[in-house]
């Protein structure tokens, strides 16, 4: 390492607002991958990037270096079109769990590399791990074999695949450096470009529960990712979705698996299914498996109605070592010792449900991490949440809190009572699907 490549030199350059060179960016990514940069140095540069931002050229170089920190999967021997979707993060966003099998039964394969909980948002890997035995770390050979045989693999970054993201993602989670366009863009695209797909659909969220609270910033993030994806040779489309209230009625790992299973049984909440279908339509269109959005939706709905999508999810769980009895009988999923319904004595109309406040209540319950090494509690969270615009009868339930200890339950309850506003007038939910950016 020459003095110009010392971590402190690169950190200081970004701190002072300079654009980093490709060599400097490669040095940072190498340092994250081989451990030659200390966590405090990686975190300091993450914060400098967060504050100073990156040019499009720097963001592209970061994405490329992170993708090359491991192997790039070659799934070209699999003849089916391979398409994936990834979300920029949300509250109660369990779409990946049921969308992947719904799409796979329509023809395309879905090789999916997901993340853990990040900031206040939940992560697909943590949700999957609430199914006893489910292995999210497959070797590259196992991953490719499963995509070929089952049509879907749901895994995380590994020592082989995008290892730099594994390290940086965990540090961002606990250092207040998540809500950054270049960091989100590189984190998502490095995994997606390494997983062997032909096309990608992004769910770019905006609103209180998203990392981009303002729609204009979400559009900027979407455009950045679509452009970088295209420059890297993959067609990418972004669906802009609102995330002001939690998606669906459940937040918390096992509770969200249960809600995804309900979606696969045809019993999913309307808002969650609306976003699921919008994303699924784009996936089938990009994979060439449907000619119009209407036929794509009909194919997806048929897979749910016939039970094929649920059977596919069961097959994925079995292939990755999970206990399929939890799929057949969701009451076997981890359940919390304490369950408290939040009751509204007077009743009225749901005016507001603040997604971020609900997420923070769930974090307090133990559904996410405060420190990188913290274990999460798969059983805790909230379900049966009311939705904006609904009527609540006197003595009606606003949601049920699932907790493992009394102190956390009390704190979460106070937080949720502030998060859910009931009044004389129904609130009007934001349109769930805003626009498609191609
Ligand atoms: N999902 C990711 O994989 N990374 C981010 O930074 C945000 C969402």
**What are the residue numbers of the active site?**
86, 165, 172, 187, 191
- Cα 316 to ligand 1 centre (Å): 23
- What is the mean pLDDT of the segment spanning 241-269? 98
Q: What mean pLDDT, rounded, does the chain reach? A: 96
| Nearest atom in ligand 1 to 184's CA | 6
Q: Give the pLDDT band (50/70/90) at residue 121.
A: confident
Same domain, 143 and 285: yes
CA atoms within 13 A on the CB side of 431: 7
Question: What is the pLDDT, as a whole number, of residue 158?
Answer: 81
> Is the minimum distance from the CB of 99 to ligand 1 under 6 angstroms?
no
**Residue 304 domain-assigned?**
yes
**Residue 77 domain-assigned?**
no
- Cα 172 to ligand 1 centre (Å): 10
List the Cα angle 32/38/39 in 5-degree steps: 75
**Residue 78 domain-assigned?**
no
Same domain, 309 and 351: no
- Cα 89 to ligand 1 centre (Å): 7
- Tokens 């049920």 belong to 400
36-40, 97-101, 338-342, 425-429, range with the lowest pLDDT: 425-429
> Is the minimum distance from the CB of 130 to ligand 1 under 6 angstroms?
no
> Is the minimum distance from the CB of 124 to ligand 1 under 6 angstroms?
no
Same domain, 114 and 217: yes
> Is the minimum distance from the CB of 89 to ligand 1 under 6 angstroms?
yes
Domain boundary among 309, 330, 351: 330
In this prediction the pTM is 0.94
Question: What is the pLDDT, as a whole number, of residue 373?
Answer: 73
**225: which 2 tokens?**
């990712």
- What is the mean pLDDT of the segment spanning 10-15? 98
Same domain, 339 and 314: no
- Cα 118 to ligand 1 centre (Å): 7
Same domain, 388 and 273: no
> Is the minimum distance from the CB of 155 to ligand 1 under 6 angstroms?
no
Percent of the chain predicted with pLDDT > 70? 99
Same domain, 105 and 25: no
Query: How far is it, in rounded angstroms, from Cα 351 to Cα 344?
Result: 13
Q: Give the pLDDT band (50/70/90) at residue 372.
A: low
> Is the minimum distance from the CB of 115 to ligand 1 under 6 angstroms?
yes
Query: How far is it, in rounded angstroms, from Cα 117 to Cα 367?
Result: 9
- What is the mean pLDDT of the segment spanning 218-238? 96
> Is the minimum distance from the CB of 280 to ligand 1 under 6 angstroms?
no
Strand-pair partners of 323: none
Indicate the top mutation candidate among 188, 210, 221 to test ligand 1's pocket, ranked by most ligand atoms within 8 A of CB. 188
Tell the residue nearest (CA) to atom 8 of ligand 1.
88
| Nearest atom in ligand 1 to 114's CA | 3
Please give the backbone phi and psi of residue 124, each rounded to the nearest 5 degrees, phi first: -60, -40
Question: What is the pLDDT, as a whole number, of residue 3?
Answer: 65
Question: What is the domain extent for residue 14?
Answer: 3-53
Same domain, 123 and 34: no
Of 373, 141, 382, the closest CA to residue 247 belongs to: 382
**Residue 436 domain-assigned?**
no
- Give the CA dihedral 358, 361, 367, 368, nearest 10 degrees: 90
Tell the residue nearest (CA) to atom 2 of ligand 1.
188
Percent of the chain predicted with pLDDT > 90? 92
Same domain, 321 and 345: no
SS (H, E, C) the chain: CCHHHCHHHHHHHHHCCCCCCHHHHHHHHHHHHHCCCCHHHHHHHHHHHHHHCCCHHHHHHHHHHHHCCCCCCCCCCCCCCEEEEEECCCCCCCHHHHHHHHHHCCCCEEEEEECCCECCECCHHHHHCCCCCCCCCCCHHHHHHHHHHHCEEEEECCCCCCHHHHHHHHHHHHHCCCCCHHHHHHHHHHHHHHCCCCEEEEEEEECCCCCCCCHHHHHHHHHHHHHHHHHCCCCEEEEEEECCCCCCCCECHHHHHHHHHHHHCCCCCHHHHHHHHHHHHHHHHHCCCCCCHHHHHHHHHHHHHCCHHHHHHHHHHHHCCCCCHHHHCHHHCCCCCEEEEEEECCCEEEEEECHHHHHHHHHHHCCCCCCCCCCCCCCCEEECCCCCCCEECCCEEEEEEEECCHHHHHHHHHHHHHHEEEECCCCCCCCCEEEEEC
> Is the minimum distance from the CB of 187 to ligand 1 under 6 angstroms?
yes
CATH number at residue 416: 3.90.1170.30
> Is the minimum distance from the CB of 118 to ligand 1 under 6 angstroms?
yes
Give the pLDDT confidence of 307-344 residue by residue, as tens digits. Answer: 999 999 999 999 999 999 999 999 999 999 999 999 99
Same domain, 218 and 264: yes
Question: What is the pLDDT, as a whole number, of residue 157?
Answer: 82
Of 356, 437, 438, 361, the closest CA to residue 399 belongs to: 361
Name the more confident of 128 and 119: 128
**Residue 409 domain-assigned?**
yes
Please give the backbone phi and psi of residue 306, each rounded to the nearest 5 degrees, phi first: -80, -10
| Nearest atom in ligand 1 to 89's CA | 8
Tell the residue nearest (CA) to atom 1 of ligand 1.
88
Same domain, 343 and 361: yes
CATH number at residue 136: 3.40.1030.10
Number of domains in the chain: 3
Same domain, 273 and 285: yes
Same domain, 220 and 349: no
- Cα 194 to ligand 1 centre (Å): 15
The C-alpha R_g of the chain, in whole angstroms, comes to 21
- Cα 393 to ligand 1 centre (Å): 39
| Nearest atom in ligand 1 to 191's CA | 3
User: How many CB atoms are closer than 10 A to CB 259?
Assistant: 26
User: How many CB atoms are closer than 10 A to CB 428?
Assistant: 9
> Is the minimum distance from the CB of 88 to ligand 1 under 6 angstroms?
yes
> Is the minimum distance from the CB of 184 to ligand 1 under 6 angstroms?
yes
Indicate the top mutation candidate among 169, 175, 204 to test ligand 1's pocket, ranked by most ligand atoms within 8 A of CB. 169
Q: Give the pLDDT band (50/70/90) at residue 21.
A: very high
Tell the residue nearest (CA) to atom 6 of ligand 1.
184
Tell the residue nearest (CA) to atom 5 of ligand 1.
184
- What is the mean pLDDT of the segment spanning 403-410? 98
Domain boundary among 280, 308, 330: 330
Residue 369 pLDDT > 90: no
Query: How far is it, in rounded angstroms, from Cα 129 to Cα 132?
Result: 7
Strand-pair partners of 156: 114
Domain boundary among 330, 364, 382: 330
Mark 44-73 as b/e (b = at least 16 C-beta within 10 Å). bbbbbbbebbbeeebbbbbbbbbbbbbeeb
Indicate the top mutation candidate among 63, 113, 115, 170 to test ligand 1's pocket, ranked by most ligand atoms within 8 A of CB. 115
CA 21 to chain centroid:
30
Q: Give the pLDDT band (50/70/90) at residue 229.
A: very high
Residue 12 pLDDT > 90: yes
**Residue 72 domain-assigned?**
no
**Residue 67 domain-assigned?**
no
């Amino acid at each position: 390492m020459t003095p110009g490549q010392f971590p402190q030199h690169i950190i200081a350059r970004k701190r002072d607002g300079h654009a980093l060179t490709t060599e400097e960016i490669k040095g940072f990514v190498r340092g994250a991958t081989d451990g030659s940069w200390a966590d405090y140095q990686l975190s300091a540069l993450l914060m400098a990037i967060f504050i100073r931002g990156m040019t499009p050229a720097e963001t592209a170089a970061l994405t490329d270096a992170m993708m090359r920190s491991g192997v790039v999967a070659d799934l070209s021997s699999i003849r089916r079109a391979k398409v994936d979707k990834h979300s920029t993060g949300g509250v109660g966003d369990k779409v990946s769990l049921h969308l992947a099998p719904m799409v796979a039964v329509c023809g395309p394969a879905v090789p999916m590399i997901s993340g853990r909980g990040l900031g206040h948002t939940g992560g697909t890997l943590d949700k999957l791990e609430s199914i006893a035995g489910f292995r999210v770390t497959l070797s590259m050979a196992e991953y490719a074999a499963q995509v070929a045989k089952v049509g879907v693999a749901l895994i995380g970054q590994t020592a082989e695949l995008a290892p730099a993201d594994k390290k940086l993602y965990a540090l961002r989670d606990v250092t207040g450096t998540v809500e950054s366009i270049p960091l989100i863009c590189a984190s998502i695209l490095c995994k997606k470009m390494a997983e062997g797909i032909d096309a990608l659909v992004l769910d770019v969220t905006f609103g209180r529960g998203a990392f981009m609270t303002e729609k204009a910033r979400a559009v900027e993030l979407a455009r950045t990712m679509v452009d970088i994806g295209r420059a890297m040779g993959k067609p990418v489309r972004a669906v802009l979705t609102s995330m002001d209230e939690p998606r669906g009625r459940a937040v918390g790992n096992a509770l969200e698996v249960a809600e995804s299973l309900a979606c696969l049984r045809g019993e999913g909440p309307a808002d969650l299914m609306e976003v699921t279908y919008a994303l699924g339509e784009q996936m089938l269109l990009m994979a060439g498996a449907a000619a119009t959005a209407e036929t794509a939706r009909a194919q997806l709905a048929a897979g749910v109605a016939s039970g094929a999508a649920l059977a596919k999810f069961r097959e994925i769980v079995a292939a990755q070592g999970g206990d399929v009895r939890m799929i057949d009988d969701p009451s076997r999923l981890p359940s919390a010792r304490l369950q408290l319904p939040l009751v509204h004595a007077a009743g009225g109309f749901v005016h507001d449900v603040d997604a971020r406040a609900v997420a923070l209540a769930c974090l307090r319950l133990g559904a996410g991490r405060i420190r990188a090494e913290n274990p999460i509690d798969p059983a805790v969270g909230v379900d049966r949440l009311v939705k904006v615009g609904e009527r609540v009868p006197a003595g009606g339930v606003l949601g049920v809190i699932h907790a493992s200890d009394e102190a956390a339950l009390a704190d979460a309850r106070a937080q949720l009572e502030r998060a859910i506003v009931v009044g004389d007038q129904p609130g009007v939910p934001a349109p769930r699907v805003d626009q498609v950016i191609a």
